[in-house]
Chain A
Amino acid sequence: MIALQRIGWGTIILFGVSVLTFLLAFVVPSDPAQTVAGPKADRETLELVRREMGLDAPMPIQFARYVGRLVRGDLGRSYVTRQNVRDAILERVPATLYLALVSLTLAVAVGITIGVATAVREGTSIDLGVLVASLVVLSLPVFWVGILLLDAFAFRLRWLPLGGYGGARFVILPACALALGNAMYYGRVVHTNMRDVLGQDYIRSARAKGVAPWRVCATHALRNALIPITTLVGLDFAGLMGGVVLTETVFNWPGLGRLAVEAVFNLDIPVIMGTVQLSALIVVVVNTLVDVLYLAIDPRIRYAR
């Protein structure tokens, strides 16, 4: 069945990702043994470390070991902090998750509102104005929006704190920064879909039956417009989990993104690989889920097969 096929592809892709990450790590010019042992280590210590880390084995064997560890959930140990990579990552995941969820909820809420509002007023200057505004807002770099928001609301107005982790007061600015672009995008999608749906026959018949226009919108049209949104939200969630790097840096948010950046600066290979691997995992899992869900929601696709 199709769902199984998707899951199968997902696994293959994950394997491909692990190959890629492994190869990348192998290409690194810096010598891991050196990093771990420290700059003043002598040759013998280096050799010892190298053997302990398994770096003297030929590449395929190292890869096999790597995959074996991966499957068991062992992501290695950080070169810098000697902490278990998996623990380090899991520490940060909730923060990023929190931010991603809040931001997505905001984006969906705002997006749907905008989309419906403009679809109903089609062709008017409001519609056109919103279209242009959307394109502009979409082009704004996230971190710039973040900086401006920080400056405006945290520094000048002193309504909100200057960054950091916490409850509603802390999360709202970064979530807004992230949500802005997505909201505009969802707005456009909803708008286009609503327009298509509103022009169709069954809407007209509902109206002819005397159903109040408001109800027509809400129940019939909206439901159909929401289908592509679900796919998009799924994809965006996956993207967000990996890609909130910039926002987290601006707002000092202790999440996965910042972990990745720190790791890059420290050339902490295991952490980098771990984060990349995890992001890919999340993306693939969510995508597969979305694919399967889509098959369930939209009967047309099922029958088309």
Chain B
Amino acid sequence: MVLSVVIIALLAPWLAPYDPLRAVADSFGEPFAPQHRYLLGTDELGRDVLSRLLFGARISLLVAAAATAMTMLIGTGVGLAAGFFGGWIDALLMRATDVVLALPDLLLALALVALIGPGLTSILVVIGLVRWAGVARTVRGEVLTLRERDFMLAATALGASPARVMIRHLLPNTLPTIIVMTALATSGAIVLDAGLSYLGLGVPVPTPSWGRMLSDSQTFYRSAPWLMVFPGIAIVYAVIAFNFLGHGLLALLRSREE
């Protein structure tokens, strides 16, 4: 049930690049209302809203996927290492995590963007870098519980090297939690990306981006209110899809453990 929502969100971009993202209609300066030819209307520069939404989906998902990959990589790596090695490595890594956690998401993202400059790659990197700390913490918690289990002691007793133990034993067992976190992290990344784009710090101008579509639409709230609604719905839809996925997986996990 939940998965179908996700699949729709994922396939939509490839399903219908309806119109190109350049201007299609001649509604320059005066957006068209939703009508037959332009299902969701057009924006102030004559571009079809529906196509922009769909291409925006591509961009948002691309950013979210790449950023989440980075977040999960760093977070899992740190969490695994901290939980497994313990001792001073753990303390050091955890303090670093706390430092990053102390800074609110958006603010840190803002600061990083200011330094690196806007653009697609920098957005990816920034969003990826901002959120790894939470993941690291949770993964470490998991590792700490797992560490005492028999198969761990057995593996080390049999002489497996630390790397081997981590990869072949810890990782598969933490995988369920990691998957859940990935789903939730993706939804967070989408929101963060939308927020950054709204502020104007996202992908550069002609490329459609849901957040930026929202901020652009504000000038036209009087004449073209639908411009404000649709990108928002798109964002909500995608975010809900991943949130439901994550929570559904979480419930699944919990019931399996019982």
Contact = CB atoms under 8 A, between A and B. Distances in A.
Interface stretch (A87-95, A117-125, A143-151, A293-301): A143-151
A264 B201 contact: yes
A24 B240 contact: no
Contacts of A273: 111
A58 interface: no
Given A141-B191, A141-B236, A143-B195, A13 B98 contact: yes
Contacts of A16: 95-96, 98-99
Interface stretch (B43-51, B101-109, B151-159, B160-168): B101-109
Interface in B213-258: 214, 218, 221-222, 225, 228-229, 232, 235-236, 239-240, 243-244, 247
Contacts of A148: 228-229, 232
B247 to A, nearest CB: 7
Given A13-B99, A148-B232, A139 B107 contact: no
Interface string B150-189: 0000000000000000000000000000000000000100
Interface in A232-277: 238-239, 241-243, 245-246, 249, 260-261, 263-265, 267, 269, 272-273, 275-276
Contacts of A139: 187, 236, 239-240, 243
A267 B225 contact: no
B110 interface: yes
Interface in A270-295: 272-273, 275-276, 279-280, 283-284, 287
A283 B104 contact: yes
Interface in A18-52: 20-21, 24-25, 27-29
B218 A147 contact: yes
Contact of B113 (A9, A147, A242, A264): A264
B106 A27 contact: no
A24 B115 contact: yes
B194 interface: yes
Contact of B107 (A28, A136, A242, A287): A242
Contact of B114 (A141, A272, A279, A280): A272
A249 B199 contact: yes
B198 interface: yes
Interface residues of A, number: 50
B247 A135 contact: yes
Contacts of A275: 107
B194 A141 contact: yes
A135 B244 contact: yes
B107 A141 contact: no
Contact of A141 (B108, B110, B195, B201): B195
Task: Tell me which of B107, B110, B113, B218 has the highest count of chain A C-beta atoms within 10 A of its own C-beta.
Answer: B107
Given A17-B99, A147-B214, A141 B225 contact: no
A144 B99 contact: no
Interface of B: 95-96, 98-100, 102-108, 110-115, 117, 187, 191, 194-195, 198-201, 214, 218, 221-222, 225, 228-229, 232, 235-236, 239-240, 243-244, 247
24 contacts: A9-B98, A16-B96, A16-B99, A135-B240, A139-B187, A139-B239, A141-B194, A142-B195, A143-B198, A151-B225, A155-B222, A238-B104, A242-B106, A242-B107, A245-B107, A246-B198, A249-B199, A261-B110, A261-B199, A267-B114, A272-B110, A273-B111, A276-B108, A279-B104
